[in-house]
Amino acid sequence: MLPAPIPADDEARLQALRELLILDTPPEERFDRIVQFAASEFDAPIALLSLIDRERQWFKARIGLDTCETGRDISFCGHAIVQKELFQVIDALKDARFADNPLVVGAPFIRFYIGAPLVMPGGAVIGTLCLIDTQPRAFDDMDRAILGTLRDLAVAELAGQGEGAA
């Protein structure tokens, strides 16, 4: 397993995340609705709004997963935040970076992952809006565009520029 890399600007990224004062806060409907919509739109068993803290990923909104956090080192989202484009793993069992990952060989038995990085207006990548499936699956350009648009809605809410996802 390849542990999630630590980006060079991680301290500044963590500072931007903490300034949002959102870690360990209760669920909020404006985020829950985006994640619910993403899970429904893509028929995905798991959808998450994941924020990457120093040593963990914490879920501000989640569908299909009981736990509210996992270790950062084993997180797929930890890989996704080192780039600004969507990060996709078609079949984790066939990907050397993830084949023996505890989240792949054990619950929730991830096979497919795609994460849209949450790039804040200042440029910090604080987490992802991501979809997970227990089966490999295809995700075409239209799907990617829709996920990117949903990610933009989430970023607007995080940045205080949203409309409450009413």
With contacts defined by CB under 8 A, name the span among 58-66, 94-102, 114-122, 158-166 that binds another protein.
158-166
Helix axes 141-158, 29-41, angle to 10 degrees: 180
**25 is written with which tokens?**
């806060």
Region binding another protein by CB under 8 A among candidate stretches 31-39, 59-67, 68-76, 110-118: 31-39
Residue 119 binds another protein, judged by CB under 8 A: no
Using CB under 8 A as the binding rule, whether residue 158 contacts another protein is answered as no
CB count within 10 Å of CB 131 equals 29
Q: How many CB atoms lie within 10 A of CB 141?
A: 7
Binder of another protein out of 2, 12, 107, 145 (CB under 8 A)? 145
Find tokens 């209760």 and name the residue.
Answer: 26
H helices of the chain, in order, are: 10-19, 29-41, 77-80, 102-105, 141-158
For another protein, which residue of 25, 67, 83, 149 counts as binding (CB under 8 A)? 149
Q: Give the per-residue contact string, 124-143, with another protein (x = CB under 8 A; - = no).
A: ------------------x-
Give the sign of the dihedral formed by CA 40, CA 88, CA 128, CA 119: negative
Which residue in the set 16, 27, 37, 144 belongs to the binding site for another protein (CB under 8 A)? Answer: 37
Told to check if 166 binds another protein by CB under 8 A, we report yes
Site residues (vs another protein, CB under 8 A): 33-34, 37, 40-41, 142, 145-146, 149-150, 152-153, 163-166
